[in-house]
């Protein structure tokens, strides 16, 4: 198979992880870096050994490439993705896919019309221990799933970071870390039916939430929860806990293990969370899908569903109540953009 040529759009912190992950890939290479900050774009290009661009139009008119990874702030995702897709470029867009459901749906419409591959990047779905834990659940080793718990908490000063500027990021910790949490919960629970959010004190004086607790039910009333914070560190060894009628699975940062009911010994598995492995496997799956040799692990409809859950989460936070989550996954219907335009014209 031919090597897939990638452009990285947005060369900030998250692009560094992709930069490292690409080094071990045989199926892909970075041929361009693009950033509105020309100094950052040039520094990225010098490290990688690729072309440098400071605007998307220059990139599209410059080096030849097949696909792009979007690593820009969330508020720009729709415009950047749609411009790339209309030019026939395959797009892997960093989470969150968009800051609202309308944007996400428009992105999927443009992707469908373009015929290019399009989906959201969400690294924890590709973490080996997370995938192994799901296999253990599916084989019935811990019985029926009763509760899924997740926690992403760490002390990070967000006062001067774009992630805490709602105009750029779309929200606070619920949008930022919450998108990862939602994808993990959906991975184990399937379709999420309703959601509730409890916000804690804003310790950093931000205009957005910095500590929340998230609660969900799936269609079978199985519970899920997530603790999200930029202001506390719960100092947990695990980031996912799965409780079943016949056992428990603990997915940890450094070690994962499970135990069936009545057993005294834990059964270890995996090697803990490996960020670069997760990024590499994510890229490999995307490249295989481009080449037609595999299906996407995270589909465009998965990506849209994650945006729907976060939208419902913010409604739940605003109205202090359980909120029904958008549309059911199987009911999500993306109307081709050409049909939308024809309807408007008529």
User: pLDDT tens, 56-114?
Assistant: 999 999 999 999 999 999 999 999 999 999 999 999 999 999 999 999 999 999 999 99
For the chain, the average pLDDT equals 94
Global confidence as pTM? 0.92
Total Cβ atoms within 10 A of residue 131? 16
> Cβ(333)–Cβ(326) under 8 Å?
no
- Region of 10 on the Ramachandran plot (φ > 0 left; ψ -120 to 50 alpha; else beta): left
The CATH code of the domain at 125-278+308-324 is 3.30.360.10
Beta bridge partners of 114: none
Please determine, for residue 333, whether its predicted confidence score (pLDDT) is greater than 80.
no
pLDDT-derived band of residue 346, with 50, 70 and 90 as boundaries?
very low
Every domain range in the chain assigned CATH 3.40.50.720 = 4-124
In contact, 213 and 201? CB cutoff 8 Å: no
Which part of the chain has CATH 3.30.360.10? 125-278+308-324
* Tokens linked to 327: 């549309």
Number of Cβ within a 10 Å radius of residue 142: 22
Q: What are the distances in angstroms from CA 76 to CA 10, 97, 168, 186, 209? A: 10, 10, 8, 25, 21
Which class for 110: exposed (0-12), middle (13-18), buried (19 or more C-beta within 10 A)? buried
Judge residue 295's burial from the number of C-beta atoms within 10 Å of its C-beta, 0-12 exposed, 13-18 middle, 19 or more buried: exposed
Q: What percentage of the chain carries pLDDT values higher than 90? A: 93
Average the pLDDT over 245-262 and give the result.
98
Positive or negative: CA dihedral 198, 96, 300, 285: negative
- Contact status, residue 279 vs residue 8, Cβ threshold 8 Å: no
Contact 189, 145 (CB under 8 A): yes
Reduced to 3 states (helix: H, G, I; strand: E, B; else coil), residue 288 is: helix
* DSSP element (H, E) containing 297: none
pLDDT of 25 over the 50 cut? yes
Architecture of domain 4-124: 3-Layer(aba) Sandwich (3.40)
pLDDT at 328 over 80: no
pLDDT of residue 327: 55
Can you tell me the distance from the alpha carbon of 197 to that of 151, in angstroms, rounded to the nearest whole number? 14
Instruction: Give residue 276's region: left, alpha or beta (phi > 0; psi -120 to 50).
Output: alpha
């Amino acid at each position: 198979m031919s090597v897939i040529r990638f452009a990285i759009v947005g060369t900030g912190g998250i692009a560094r992880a992709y930069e490292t992950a690409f080094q071990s890939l045989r199926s892909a290479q970075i041929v361009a870096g693009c950033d509105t900050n020309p100094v950052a774009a040039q520094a990225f290009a010098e490290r990688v050994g690729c072309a440098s661009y400071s605007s998307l139009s220059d990139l599209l008119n410059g080096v030849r490439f097949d696909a792009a990874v979007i690593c820009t702030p969330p508020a720009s995702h729709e415009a950047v993705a749609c411009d790339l897709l209309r030019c026939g470029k395959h797009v892997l867009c960093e989470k969150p896919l968009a800051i609202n459901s309308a944007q996400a749906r428009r992105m999927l419409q443009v992707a469908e019309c373009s015929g290019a591959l399009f989906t959201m990047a969400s690294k924890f779905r590709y973490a080996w221990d997370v995938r192994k834990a799901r296999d253990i659940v599916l084989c019935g080793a811990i019985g029926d799933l009763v509760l899924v718990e997740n926690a992403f908490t760490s002390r990070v000063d967000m006062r001067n970071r774009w992630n805490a500027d709602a105009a750029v990021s779309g929200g606070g910790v619920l949008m930022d870390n919450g998108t990862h949490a939602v994808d993990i919960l959906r991975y184990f629970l399937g379709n999420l039916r309703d959601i509730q959010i409890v916000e804690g004190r804003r310790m950093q004086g931000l205009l957005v939430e910095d500590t929340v607790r998230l609660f969900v039910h799936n269609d079978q009333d199985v519970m899920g929860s997530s603790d999200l914070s930029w202001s506390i560190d719960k100092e947990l060894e695990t980031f996912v806990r799965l409780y079943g009628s016949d056992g428990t699975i603990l997915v940890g940062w450094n070690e994962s293990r499970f135990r069936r009911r009545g057993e005294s010994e834990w059964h270890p598995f995996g090697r803990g969370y490996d960020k670069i492995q997760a990024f590499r496997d994510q890229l490999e799956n995307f490249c295989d899908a481009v080449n037609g040799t595999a299906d996407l692990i995270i589909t465009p409809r998965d990506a849209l569903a994650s945006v729907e859950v976060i939208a419902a989460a913010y409604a739940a936070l605003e109205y202090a109540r359980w909120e029904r989550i958008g549309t059911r996954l199987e009911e999500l219907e993306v109307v081709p953009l050409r049909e939308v335009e024809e309807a408007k014209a008529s």
